[in-house]
Amino acid sequence: MAFRIRNILTWLTAIICLAAGSLRAADIRKLTKDLLAVPSTTGTEDRLAAKIRGLLPGWPAVEEDGLGSIAVRLRGPAGPTLVLAALDGYGHLVSGITPDGYLTLDRPVAPPHARYDAYLLGQPVHVWTARGVVQGVVSQPAMHLLTPERRKTLVENFSLESAFVDIGVRSEKEARAKGIEILDTVTFPPVLTELASDQWAGPALGLKAAAAALVSVAATMAGQSAAEETLIAWAAQTKFTSRGRGARPALGAARAKAKWLPRRTVIIDLVAADRGVGSPVPGKGPVLIRAGDEPSALRQALEGAAAEAGIPLQFLAAADSPLVQPFAGPSAEVLTVALPVRFLNTPSEVIDLKDLEALRDLIGRFLQPGGPQ
């Protein structure tokens, strides 16, 4: 009889564990979908920050840095350690309204690559006004009616000077009646495409997935303590660089450093995948980015957390990014853990959900009391 009871209890425990694991996997997926729907270009991160606040009801105190960044604090015996992801991505804004109702565009920050603006050609866009979303489309001439020379010029030399958004009105007055104002944010529609083999695609998907991973960890650890005092943070204005000569760190990262003075910092970032030999591969785990080969206790701790949890890691040698620069110094440690993204900084970023779940589990294991430190 006792043997049968033990077997039943074991069976029930296994079912509960399987269900819990399934719920955790579903949770990160739902979080990513929820965050994808919220626009968050540099300078307009308030919507996403408010969304994240609403997803953390177990945290009565959410700290701010005065620039738009937010953070929650886990108490611990030492520290602090800062785990930081970005709130803001790339996008466009309304720079003007023509007399016949078309919108002209500009950017709040420099693009991530030279062809970034060309993705707009002929594509639908969302204009985020104070009254809600206005849908539009970037005008495009009929390619089959153009001469080969004009077609080549249009595609290869597209610029914002030739980008006009049609929202279906006939005058500036009608456009303003729709709620359109100068500096309104313009983004691609947040359409999620579910591909085969647990892969998702969408605009700014990598950014929202990385932010969702930290939301999931923070939600799970609400009311707990960490191995050491830790701040889980989402930084605003990371695409702006600080003033000065030489290497110019990201403004949001520099402000986070000044506000929270971390002893150790883990940057949650994105890295381009499937770019050839030596490039990270989607589905093979998060990427530990190393700027040098010198020993690091922080690196050992993250690698130890991955080993204990059976999480695969990829490694990439790369120079420090503007996000890392403010935290580097002789008395501080900083390391980047990145989510591999195929077609990074395009409207069709692709992530592997196995990498996203592994990233969440890695950070969660690293922060747990008794975890590798």
138-170 confidence digits (pLDDT tens): 986 655 556 777 666 666 677 888 889 999 999
The span from the CA of 109 to the CA of 182, in Å, is: 16
The values of phi and psi at residue 283, to 5°, are 90, -5
Give residue-wise pLDDT tens across range 339-361. Answer: 999 999 999 999 999 999 999 99
**Judgement on whether residues 77 and 104 belong to the same structural domain of the protein:** no
Residues 248-255, mean pLDDT to the nearest whole number: 91
Q: Is residue 53 part of a domain?
A: yes
CATH of the domain at 58: 3.40.630.10
Global pTM reads 0.88
Closest CA to 167 of 94, 237, 70, 258: 94
Report whether pLDDT(18) > 60. no
Q: In this predicted structure, what is the pLDDT of residue 143?
A: 58
The verdict on residue 5 lying in a domain is: no
What confidence score (pLDDT) does residue 276 get?
81
Say whether both 286 and 156 belong to one domain: no
Tens-digit pLDDT profile for residues 315-336: 998 877 889 989 987 778 999 9
Asked if residue 314 and residue 214 are part of one domain, the reply reads yes
Residues 60 and 161 in one domain: no
Q: At 245, is the pLDDT very low, low, confident or very high (cuts 50, 70, 90)?
A: low
The CA dihedral of 32, 37, 38, 40, to the nearest 10 degrees, is: 80
Q: Output the pLDDT for position 308.
A: 93
Whole-number pLDDT of residue 329: 77
Does residue 296 have a pLDDT over 90?
no
What are the pLDDT digits (tens) for 278-289? 889 999 999 999
pLDDT tens by residue, 196-212 = 999 999 999 999 999 99
* CA pair distance 154, 162, nearest whole angstrom: 9
Average pLDDT over residues 177-184: 97
Residue 21 has pLDDT above 80, yes or no: no
* One domain for residues 359 and 340: yes
Task: Answer whether residue 6 shows pLDDT above 50.
Answer: no
Domain boundaries, position 108: 92-187
Give me the amino acid identity at 46.
Answer: D
User: What is the average pLDDT across 115-125?
Assistant: 91
- Tokens for 79? 């520290």
Same domain, 173 and 244: no
> Does 255 share its domain with 289?
yes
- Domain membership flag for residue 315: yes
Distance CA 182, CA 175 (A): 11
Residue 240 has pLDDT above 80, yes or no: yes
Tell me, letter by letter, the H, E, C secondary structure of 121-146.
CCCEEEEEECCEEEEEEECCCCHHHC
Statement to judge: residues 212 and 336 lie in one domain: yes
The answer to whether residues 266 and 82 touch, using CB atoms and an 8 Å cutoff, is: yes
The structure tokens listed for 351 are: 């992530």
Instruction: Please check whether residues 85 and 112 belong to one and the same domain.
Output: no
Among candidate residues 265, 260, 261, 237, the one with its CA nearest the CA of residue 337 = 265
Q: Which has the higher per-residue pLDDT, 247 or 232?
A: 232
State CA 202 to chain mean position distance.
Answer: 12
Residues 256 and 162 in one domain: no
**48-97 confidence digits (pLDDT tens):** 999 999 999 888 789 999 889 999 998 887 779 999 999 999 999 999 99
